[in-house]
Amino acid sequence: MRVAEAFRVAVTALRANRLRSLLTMLGVIIGVSAVVVLVAIGTGAKREVEAQVNGLGANLVILVPGQLEFGAAPTRSRLELADADRVGRAIGQPGGVAVTLASGETVRAGGNSAFATVNGTNAAVPRIFNRPVARGTYLRESDVDTRRRVAVIGPELAAQLYEGADPVGRTLAVGGVRFRVVGVFAPLGGAFGASRDAEVHIPVTAAQRLFGDPRVDALAVKAPTTEQIDEVGDRALAVLQERYPDEEFSAVTQDQILGTVGRILGLLTTVLAAIAAISLLVGGVGVSNIMLVSVRERTREIGLRKAVGARTGDITVQFLIEAVVLTTIGGVLGILLGVGGALGLAAAVEQLPAVITWWSPALAFGVSAAVGVFFGVVPARRAGRLDPVVALRAE
Amino acid sequence: MTPVPALEAVDVTRSYRLEGVTVEALRGVSLTVHPGDYAAVVGPSGSGKSTLMHLLGGLDRPTTGTLRVGGRDVRAMDEDELAALRNRTIGFVFQAFQLLARTSAVDNVGMPLVYRGVKRAERRRRAVAALERVGMGHRLDHRPNELSGGEQQRVAIARALVGEPQLLLADEPTGNLDTRNGAEVMALLEDLNAQGVAVVLVTHDLEIAQRARRQVHVRDGLIERVT
């Protein structure tokens, strides 16, 4: 009852000083919208990475030399192509182990050239990774065995090199060596500039000769079920450990990648949101300041209200509600601006996904209300404690 | 059996400390106001009459002495009890009207009832009744800046009346009004007094004070004489 009346008085008072109220809200609006936008982008980035990692294929185990940790120096591989056969036999999937030997190269076709990741692989790739071919075929086992100079290229690269013409059957040159295009991948999309649609896959044997490198970077296998991921990884590691007793290898799963990437992006999102929250805090100081001005301006009103029976608590609650109304209206405007901004940004910038989660606007609203209470307390208590005799005499 | 006095002050003092100096605004005042009484407190400025009015109205508490309002000792009350006393027992009328700007007459009048927890519809009903009692029933939704001084003071009197107080305290109620409006406001206060509300008038205007049943002359913080 009294609270409802306090709301009415608060709205009347704020409307009496529309411009001032709006400017005071601006700090909160900016803070809240910044938090909402940054959380949306952070969440979008995380979802995108998750989708990409999960889109690689199901139940993958990637075998790499050394300890795989972010920040650790990459270890030079001693893996060979023959290790893929050994691992395949050990896990009961002969021919089911993919290999990779990748290098960034300039790729030319006709008068066009582009920089692309050239990946030496084998015929097991389509069985392990989710890499559909839109036109033509993927590399065959015989291509690897005979070191045939054939290539499967991504659609983005195809568009760059052949400008819309069908690439299958045409040639491209990598490091001066000519390859015949046999297939074009279906588009996968990509985020943050790391497009997998500009890759070139060639037989690993051809890549070894091209790069002058007899080894492979890593192996990849697929566990038959999610439950068998660890078992398959352990067996594969055991084979490698036996062959290279003085080296370490890691079996990396998608869950591990997601865990690490998730932690990094989570931390990044938190830091960005915290920076944005500082502007919310500054907005709160502005609210506090303007409320103090308001208390001073309305000293006589406060004195009168006390003279006719308002208690200290009634006045305190009234000014507190006024501060909270100010910040929550600012919060709602900030949420609208933030959601609009995030969606607008996502629409305008292709590689910047933004996902609005239900909790970030809810949290922003809660925080802005809390800012109102926190920064409203001092002015409100000052108002409540005014002596009615003195207050009534105020100018 | 004598009725409980509306107001009873016994040897009341009030001193302030102003920049380290103790100022004795009231130095021992005794005064009784009975229900339905009509008294005027007169004295030059600085005599302590404003301080006395603040004490009588429960806006302030005496330094020493006993002050009973409606039979209850003001010195024993806490802030909230004093607020309730101002809300229920006393109605204030100020020289400068003290109406809320941008607020209609009816909302100004109903405002004290907010602090009693009276619902909005009931507040309006009682505020309308109070405004009709002071002859302002035709100006319910006008704002103070749309009303003349005399009309504003009538609205202020309606606000003082809306809580059905035992006592109206009027501090220079005609001070900001011209003669004609002043006379009308005085007639209204006397009319209300005739209906049984005790009225205490604080003024430096002897002519107005003469209209009261009693004149309490205050000088230098003491009651000089009562006529």
Among B196, B165, B179, B184, smallest CA distance to B92 is for B165
* CA A243 distance to own-chain centroid: 39
Mutation for testing the A interface, residue in B98, B99, B107, B123 having most A CBs under 10 Å: B98
Q: What is the pLDDT of residue A95?
A: 82
Separation of alpha carbons B68 and B90, rounded Å: 13
Judge whether B49 is closer than 8 Å to chain A, CB to CB. no
Do A300 and B98 count as a contact with CB atoms less than 8 A apart? yes
**Residue A315 in 3-state DSSP?**
helix
Least confident stretch, A260-274, B84-98, B163-177? A260-274
List the single range of A294-303, A347-356, B100-109, B152-161 with lowest mean pLDDT.
A347-356
B145 lies within 8 A of chain A by CB: no
- What residues in B contact A316, CB-CB < 8 Å? none
The mean pLDDT value for B180-202 works out to 92
User: Do A287 and A375 meet the contact criterion of CB atoms below 8 Å apart?
Assistant: yes
Residue B110: closest C-alpha in chain A: A308
Alpha-carbon span B39 to B23, nearest angstrom? 27
Four-CA torsion A277, A279, A282, A286, nearest 10 degrees: -120
CA–CA separation, B152 and B155 (whole Å): 5
Mean pLDDT, all residues of chain B: 90
pLDDT of amino acid A303:
93
Residues of B in contact with A310 (CB under 8 A): 83, 114-115
Q: Do B116 and A308 touch (CB under 8 A)?
A: no
- Nearest residue of chain B to residue A13 (CA atoms): B102
Nearest CA in chain B to A301: B100
Q: How buried is residue A394: exposed, middle or buried, by Cβ count under 10 Å (0-12/13-18/19+)?
A: middle
Residue spans of alpha helices (H) in A201-311: 204-211, 229-243, 254-297, 299-307
Quick one: pLDDT at residue A73? Answer: 56
Query: Concatenated DSSP letters for A134-145?
Result: EEE----HHHHH
For residue B58, how many other CB atoms are within 10 A of its CB? 27
Residues of B in contact with A1 (CB under 8 A): 117, 119
Nearest alpha carbon to residue A338 among A24, A22, A40, A46: A40
pLDDT means over runs of 10, chain A (395 residues): 80 88 91 89 84 84 77 68 90 88 90 91 91 92 93 92 90 92 86 71 94 90 90 91 87 87 85 83 90 92 93 93 93 93 85 81 88 92 91 81
What pLDDT does B86 receive?
Answer: 92
The SS3 call for residue A224 is: coil
Give A326's contacts (C-beta < 8 A, 6+ positions apart). Answer: A14, A21, A24, A25, A28, A287, A290, A291, A372
Element (H, E) at B219: strand B214-219
Under an 8 A CB cutoff, do A309 and B87 touch? yes
User: Residue B64: how many CA atoms within 13 Å on its side-chain side?
Assistant: 7
B143 at A interface, C-beta within 8 A: no
B-chain residues near A5 (CB < 8 A): 114, 120
The whole-number pLDDT of residue B1 equals 46
- Tell me if residue A72 falls in helix, strand or coil: coil
Q: What is the pLDDT of residue A273?
A: 80
* Cα torsion B215, B219, B222, B225: sign: negative
Percent of chain B topping pLDDT 90? 59
Instruction: Collect all residues from A whose CB is shorter than 8 A from any CB in B.
Output: 1-2, 4-5, 12, 16, 300-301, 303-314, 388-389, 392
d(CA A1, CA B116): 10
CA A99 to chain centroid: 28
**Strand, helix or coil for residue A168:** coil
The alpha carbon torsion through B13, B17, B18, B19 (nearest 10 deg) reads: 160
pLDDT average, residue stretch B62-69: 91
Contact list in A for residue B111 (CB cut-off 8 A) is 305, 308
pTM for this model (two decimals): 0.76
- Which pLDDT value is given to residue A194? 55
CA angle A185, A187, A192 (to 5 degrees): 125
Tell me how many residue pairs between chain A and chain B have CB atoms under 8 A apart: 64
Report CA A327 to chain centroid distance, whole Å: 29
| Per-residue confidence (pLDDT) for residue A69, from 0 to 100 | 59
ipTM comes to 0.93
For residues B206, B209, B211, B214, the Cα torsion angle rounded to the nearest 10 degrees is -120
B217 touches chain A (CB under 8 A): no
What CA–CA distance (Å, rounded) separates A250 from A231? 13
Based on its alpha-carbon atoms, the radius of gyration of chain A, rounded to whole angstroms, reads 32
